[in-house]
Structure 1
Amino acid sequence: MPQHSFSDFLNHIDENPIAVLALEIETIKYVFLDLSETHLELKTIDLSSSKDFGQYINAYSKAQNANIAFGGYLEVRDLYKRSAYFNSENKQTERNIHLGIDLWCDAETPVLAALNGTVHSFKNNINHGDYGPTIILKHSVFNMEFYTLYGHLTLDSISNIKVGDVVKQGQEIGRLGTAAVNGDYPPHLHFQIIKDIQAFTGDYPGVCNQLDLEFYATNCPNPNLLLKI
């Protein structure tokens, strides 16, 4: 199916925004957070320190009177340079293009299933800068199969689940982890849509290089088609 058709399909699954985080507040206010390599303010932040990085995000959200900072789809980021897992001496093969949306807020925030589905797989991805505990759900909507990925969770989130578990839209499937378990990032959810999961289990690339961008941009459409932030 052509990319534009799948995007249209996702956009029309639900006319209303789909929540993947639950906060114990009446009103959720989002603010866009630019983490691109061209954002000059980031040059003053030590992105290798999850503490300093987290203080920057918290101060930014507070200044905007926001509960959740979000963004990052197809954003080219310098922050992955801190990890050998993403680095390459060749600029074209350096993995620095983000394929999901990040939602930055407090650790232990409940994470919700975007849609009805089943647990496809889960894993603790322990590389520095990786997802940490991750859950992938499989969905079948109007006979269309696709997947959603939830990264940077707590270890408890993957301790009592099994492949094939049925989940309902809006059901709590986990909670956001701290830097100690989530790949050494400030607490956030990496949310990604995947058309073809290929042979991956409990993991799928969330960052790609320039050479592979065309494939991944097609296989991983904009998550905001569901979130509608």
Structure 2
Amino acid sequence: MHSEDFFLFLKSIHKKPLRVLDATIPNSDYISIDLSENNSDLNTFNVSSSQDWQGFIQHYLKKHNKKVAFGGYAEKRNIYKRSTYFKSQNIEEERNIHLGIDLWIAAGTKIYTPLDATVHSFKNNPNFGDYGPTIILKHSIKDQVFYTLYGHLSVASIQSIKVGQLLKAGACIATLGDATVNGDYAPHLHFQIIRNMEDYIGDYPGVCSKKNLNKFIKNCPDPNTLLKLGY
């Protein structure tokens, strides 16, 4: 299936928004947030500090009277410059373009699978700026197989889960971790769709370089096709 057709397939899975957070939180309690290199507000605090990030996100939500800030798909960000994990001497190969959607909400928040699934893999990815505890689910719908990735979880989230475990849509699969375990970020969920997992286990790139953007955009379509936030 071509990437355009797969995008339409994802949109057609369910007419209503699917949820990875509490389903009782309506779309009206979500607000988009710009964390790109073009947002001058990000120059007002230390972007290398997870505590400063948490304060920035909390202030943003309070200002707008919302519960969840979301966004970031295909967004070019400067935050990754703080970690050598993403750097390259070749500017075209520096990884700074985000491939998932981020949902900014408090640590300890429960995470749910939006669709029936089996557990593909899980792992703690402890590099500075990485996912921390991560779960990847496999979905089979209408003869199509694809995967969803959940990053920045709590350590407890991967202590009792099992590969191959069957999960019904709406099942709680994890809770969000804090900065001490989630790669040193303000608490949030990184949610990503992946068509081909290649040989990755418990991990898949969530940030890519400009050089490889076309490849990754085709393999990792916009997760908002499922969540339908802002529609």
> What TM-score range do you get, normalising by the shorter chain?
over 0.9
* Aligned positions of 1:1-16 closer than 5 A: 1-16=1-16
Query: How far is the alpha carbon of 1:163 from its aligned partner?
Result: 0.4
Aligned in 2, Cα 1:2/1:48: closer, same or farther, shift over 3 Å?
same
| 2:228 matched residue in structure 1 | 228
* Aligned positions of 1:154-173 closer than 5 A: 154-173=154-173
Paired letter, 2:22: A
Distance in 2 (CA, whole Å) between partners of 1:111 and 1:137 is 13
Query: How far is the alpha carbon of 1:28 from its aligned partner?
Result: 5.9
Query: How far is the alpha carbon of 1:61 from its aligned partner?
Result: 0.8
Asked whether 1:175 is paired with 2:179, we answer: no
Aligned in 2, Cα 1:124/1:226: closer, same or farther, shift over 3 Å?
same
Asked whether 1:58 is paired with 2:61, we answer: no
Distance in 1 (CA, whole Å) between partners of 2:46 and 2:190 is 21
Asked whether 1:22 is paired with 2:22, we answer: yes
Question: More displaced, 25-34 or 161-170?
Answer: 25-34
| 2:207 matched residue in structure 1 | 207
| 2:153 matched residue in structure 1 | 153
| 2:39 matched residue in structure 1 | 39
Question: More displaced, 129-138 or 23-32?
Answer: 23-32
Query: How far is the alpha carbon of 1:85 from its aligned partner?
Result: 0.2
Give the gaps of 5 or more residues in structure 1: none
Is the Cα–Cα contact under 8 Å of residues 28 and 67 in structure 1 kept in the other structure? no
| Secondary structure at the counterpart of residue 95 of structure 2 | coil
| 2:109 matched residue in structure 1 | 109
Distance in 1 (CA, whole Å) between partners of 2:28 and 2:148 is 22
Aligned in 2, Cα 1:159/1:147: closer, same or farther, shift over 3 Å?
same
Give the gaps of 5 or more residues in structure 2: none
Paired letter, 2:214: E
Q: CA deviation digits over 1:153-208, x for unaligned, max 9?
A: 00000000110000111110000000000000000000000000000000000000
Percent identical residues: 54
Distance in 2 (CA, whole Å) between partners of 1:92 and 1:46 is 25
Query: How far is the alpha carbon of 1:89 from its aligned partner?
Result: 2.3
State the TM-score, normalizing by the size of structure 1.
0.98
Number of residue pairs the alignment of both structures matches: 229
Distance in 1 (CA, whole Å) between partners of 2:63 and 2:23 is 19
| 1:99 matched residue in structure 2 | 99
- Off by >4 Å, runs of 4+ in structure 1: 23-28
State the TM-score, normalizing by the size of structure 2.
0.97
Distance in 1 (CA, whole Å) between partners of 2:69 and 2:208 is 22
Aligned in 2, Cα 1:64/1:127: closer, same or farther, shift over 3 Å?
same
Q: CA deviation digits over 1:112-154, x for unaligned, max 9?
A: 0021010000000000000000000000001100000000000
Is the Cα–Cα contact under 8 Å of residues 28 and 68 in structure 1 kept in the other structure? no
Distance in 2 (CA, whole Å) between partners of 1:136 and 1:150 is 6
Distance in 2 (CA, whole Å) between partners of 1:115 and 1:91 is 38
Paired letter, 1:137: L
Query: How far is the alpha carbon of 1:84 from its aligned partner?
Result: 0.4
